Amino acid sequence: MAKERKYLDLEAQYRVKHLERIRHNRKESVQTHEVHMELMDLMKQIIVYSSNIANTFFLKCRSA
């Protein structure tokens, strides 16, 4: 789905921006790196799961 791609791209942008801050050695980003990366992983999982739910619902409605 197009919206899934949109949100996955957004997650990737957040991840890249965070890694750029890490590369520039920003103290607050270095301190929160593990939490930030875990949140990005969770965000990606939520996007994929919600897309799978939407696709399943769409297919069931379509076949009914």
Q: Where are the domains of the chain?
A: 2-63
Buried/exposed 23-35: b ≥16 CB within 10 Å, e otherwise? eeeeeebeeeeee
pLDDT tens digits for range 13-57: 999 999 999 999 999 999 999 999 999 999 999 999 999 999 999
Whole-prediction pTM value?
A: 0.78
Phi-psi group of 25: left, alpha or beta (phi > 0 → left; psi -120 to 50 → alpha; rest → beta): left
- Residue 60: predicted pLDDT: 86
Quick one: which of 36, 1, 9, 10 has its CA closest to 21? 36
